[in-house]
Amino acid sequence: GDSVTQMEGPVTLSEEAFLTINCTYTATGYPSLFWYVQYPGEGLQLLLKATKADDKGSNKGFEATYRKETTSFHLEKGSVQVSDSAVYFCALQMNTGFQKLVFGTGTRLLVSP
């Protein structure tokens, strides 16, 4: 079935470091891809999305490019802040008209001053 694989965490970085969180997917068709973020004590929030190959999603300094050839959607940020500490989830949604999201296991990011 459809699935998402994320790198294991936690990822520990110092403030202003470069961030990459790897995400790859397996799907029978061409899904839409998402990154959701869960801050401590809060619900999941959409961070960015891409709906077709070569699309780049971006928000709050984060970026991810939909790579069909490598079935990947890696999350990057050039300079992380302490406030970026959270759990990041990669997810896919098949374009079937249903809202079901298939999530990765999540990657915890810890940013220290």
In the complex, which residues of this chain contact another protein (CB under 8 A)? 32, 34, 36, 41-46, 49, 89, 93, 97-106
Which residue's CB is nearer to another protein, number 8 or number 16?
Answer: 8
DSSP 42: S
Which residue's CB is nearer to another protein, number 43 or number 113?
Answer: 43
Work out whether strand 32-38 and strand 102-103 pair parallel, antiparallel, or are unpaired. Answer: unpaired
Backbone angles phi, psi at 55, to 5 degrees: -65, 145
Shortest distance, position 17 Cβ to another protein, whole Å: 26
Q: Tell me the sheet residues that pair with 72.
A: 24, 67
Shortest distance, position 76 Cβ to another protein, whole Å: 20
Tokens of 56: 């780049």
Which residue's CB is nearer to another protein, number 20 or number 105?
Answer: 105
